[in-house]
Structure formats: structure tokens, C-alpha cells
Amino acid sequence: MYFPEKPIFPGLLFSFVMQQKTIFMRNLTLILTMLLIVSGAYSQDGVFAYKELPSVAMQNIKGIAFNSTNITNNGKPIIISFWATWCKPCIRELSAISDVYDDWVTETGVKLYAVSIDDSRSAPLVGPLINGKGWEFEVLLDPNSDFKRAMNVGPIPHTFLLDGNGKVVWQHTSFAEGDELHLIDLVRQLNKDGKLTE
């Protein structure tokens, strides 16, 4: 399971506390910081794991409403990849996966949801683009980045790996040629051991 070994955020929050003038803000931050520390220390599963996906309204490319809680795969692993039509590394990542996707599905049963954060400028191009390229992923539209925000995604591409119970077990930002090999290794490990050991 991924979480930073030495979390940097409590430190950042504390330094930010010192900047604030009002007692109210000091206390609010203090509470949040303490919640962070205390709950981090005492909850067994770690507060930094997405135990289930937040519920956010999106659409599929047919214009049909799709809620993020419907991202499922019959107990098999799920990959969620945030991308956009204008993001070259995202296209490289999805193209690399598309080349081997049939084999991946046959071997591991994994399913990939490609969440496009294209806004209304380029969202109309998503359907034609994925069909034009012959991709067979489930594609979802998130035109005002609501799901992106709920998943705390910054720069894209950003890829999540979920286990069969819908819990996020790994995430990664950016793409380099060869990253897809690592990703499928993690899926295999998940199928074999039910968890990641890295």
C-alpha cells in the first residue's frame, strides 16, 4: 500500500498556522492537524487510503449519467486513468495500454476506466477520438473536474489501481514508456496475493 513514509503535510499545516492572524483559523487548522495525526495513528487501515470511491456525478460518451460509485468490475482489479485529449503523455499511456489491453483482460480480468477531464471545449472530441483510435476502455466525462478534485488529482496523467473491493491500492502521476509493464505486474500481484507488497 502506498503512503508517504514521512508525511510532509502536518509540517506544512503548522507553518501555515503560524501565518494566520485570527484565533479561529488557528483553531480550525489545529483541529484538522490533530485529526490527521490522531486518526492516522489509531485507525488500522490508515486514513490515507481510499477505502471506497467518493460519489461524483459524471457522464459516459453517450451523454448518459454515470456515478463514480458504479466503477466496478465483479471483484477483479480496476485501473482508473485521468487523461485529456490535449495531454500528449496521457495519449501515449493509453495507446501503450490499448496495444496490449486484450491480453491484459484475458489474463487478469482487469478493467480500465479512462476519465477524461476535457472541458466543454474538447469534451465533444472525446468520443470520436477514442473510437478513431480504436480504444476499448470505459470512457467517462468529467468536464468540470469534479471527480478529479474528489480524487485529489493534480497534473495528469494520473493512474489509480483498485483492488476487487474497490479500494485504491496504488497511484502514480506521469507516464514514461515502460510504466505500463510495471502496472500490469502490480495487477498480477494483486490477483495472486490479494494485496501489494511493495
Partner 1 sequence: MNLLKKNTYLFSCLVFFLFLLPVFLQAQDILKGSEVHGSMQADAIYYLPDDKIGITDSTLDGKTIRMNGFTEVNYSLGNFTAGLRFEAYLPPLIGYDAQLNGVGVPYFYVNYKNDFIDVTAGNFYEQFGYGMMLRTYQEWTLGYDNSLRGLRIKLTPWKGITLKGVYGVQRYYWEPYKDYNRGIVKGFDADFYLNDIFSSMNDAKVKLTLGGSFVSDYQQGSTKEVAQNGKIYLLKMPVNVANYGGRFNLNIGGFNWFAEYAHKINDPTAMNNYIYKNGNGIFTNLSYSQKGLGISLMSKWIDNMGYKSNRTITNNMLNINYLPSITKEHTYALASMYSYSTQANGEAGVSGNVTFHLPKNSKLGGKTGMTIALNFSQVNGINKKAINDTVPVDELGTLGYATSLFSVGKEVYYQDANIEITKKFGKKWKGIFTYLYQTYNKDVIEGHAHDYGTIYSQIGIADVTWKITGKNSLRFELQGLWTKQDKGNWAAALIEYTVAPHWFISVMDQWNYGNTDPEQQLQYYLLSAGYNYNTTRVALSWGRQREGVICVGGVCRYVPATNGVTLTVTSSF
At position 175, the amino acid (one-letter code) is F
Q: Which DSSP symbol is given to 78?
A: E
**How far is residue 3's CA from residue 137's CA, in Å, rounded to a whole number?**
28
Residues numbered 152-181 forming contacts with partner 1, rule: CB under 8 A: 152-155, 158, 170-174, 176-179, 181
Q: How far is the CB of 188 from partner 1 (least distance, A)?
A: 15
Q: How far is the CB of 30 from partner 1 (least distance, A)?
A: 6
Could you give the 3-state DSSP secondary structure of residue 26? helix
Stretch of 31-39, 73-81, 100-108, 188-196 contacting partner 1, by CB under 8 A: 31-39
Stretch of 15-23, 73-81, 107-115, 189-197 contacting partner 1, by CB under 8 A: 15-23
Residue owning grid cell 489509480: 160
Is residue 100 at the binding interface for partner 1, with CB under 8 A as the rule? no
Site mask for partner 1 (CB under 8 A), range 70-89, x = bound: ---------------xxxx-
Which of 34, 35, 16 shows the shortest CA–CA distance to 25? 16
Is residue 44 at the binding interface for partner 1, with CB under 8 A as the rule? yes
Is residue 23 at the binding interface for partner 1, with CB under 8 A as the rule? yes
Is residue 22 at the binding interface for partner 1, with CB under 8 A as the rule? no
39-48 — which CB contacts under 8 Å span 24+ positions?
A: 40/7, 46/1, 46/3, 48/3
160 and 133 Cβ atoms separated by less than 8 Å: no
Residues numbered 54-73 forming contacts with partner 1, rule: CB under 8 A: 54-55, 57, 61-65
